[in-house]
Amino acid sequence: MLQKLLQNRRLILASKSPRRSFFLKELHLDFETCVKEVDEIYPLHLKGKEISEYLAILKATPFKLQLQPQDILITADTIVWLEGKALGKPKTKNEAFKMLTSLSGKKHEVISSIALTTIAKQMIISDITEVKFKKLSKDEINFYVDTFKPFDKAGSYGIQEWIGYIGIEKIKGSYFNVMGFPVQKFYKALHEI
């Protein structure tokens, strides 16, 4: 479907996330991956989706002078929002354990934002999904962190992994958004851009 619409365009995914690559492949899109490192630092006054939108736009900044007229750059960011605080990616096992302990038995929001950038314009889309974890035991958390090493995941977990199978009681919103890529909204935005 989108192939005809995008036949004269070049999609560039600026993400190391295997999940985001997977979704683009599943949409039957031709794309290339190119990542430029940026410090994912945001102003402290930002809240909720303001953070993920800011970071998605920030990740596009190093590419702006290199974009060609046919290019569509895709950058994205996901945060976990718990009790007025953003949980990013853990750096250590201890940090991952603390994050999962803080999520245990509670509801939180997973917020993903995608920036679509061309020479002419930039479009930002965001999605919010509410997730409820059961009360997790220390053994369950330790097993997950030791086995799956979720250091590349916001909030220290992947819904598509073991912890999601045994720990998530309820979600309200897009499952794919919790994986870091609101596919339905992305598909619609590509038609619009």
pLDDT at 182 over 70: yes
CA distance 151 to 96: 7
pLDDT at 117 over 70: yes
CA distance 54 to 56: 6
Higher pLDDT, 88 or 53: 53
Give the closest residue to 117 by CA, choosing from 76, 172, 160.
76
Architecture of domain 2-192: Alpha-Beta Complex (3.90)
Residue 67 confidence class, pLDDT cut points 50, 70, 90: very high
Mean pLDDT on 96-103: 98
Residue 4 confidence class, pLDDT cut points 50, 70, 90: confident
Residue 152 known to be catalytic: no
pLDDT at 1 over 70: no
CA distance 126 to 140: 31
What pTM does this model have?
A: 0.93
pLDDT at 2 over 90: no
pLDDT at 5 over 70: yes
Mean pLDDT on 100-123: 97
Residue 6 confidence class, pLDDT cut points 50, 70, 90: confident
Predicted confidence (pLDDT) per residue in 16-57, tens digit: 899 999 999 999 999 999 999 999 999 999 999 999 999 999
- pLDDT for 102 equals 98
Amino acid at 30: D
The domain ranges of the chain are 2-192
Which of 71, 77, 139, 152 does the annotation list as catalytic?
Answer: 77
- pLDDT for 44 equals 94
Give the closest residue to 66 by CA, choosing from 14, 16, 128, 15.
14
Give the closest residue to 46 by CA, choosing from 73, 16, 77.
77
- What region does 143 belong to: left with phi over 0, alpha with psi -120 to 50, or beta? alpha
3-state class (DSSP) for residue 149? coil
To the nearest whole number, what is the mean pLDDT of the chain? Answer: 95
Predicted confidence (pLDDT) per residue in 130-181, tens digit: 999 999 999 999 999 999 999 989 999 999 999 999 999 999 999 999 999 9
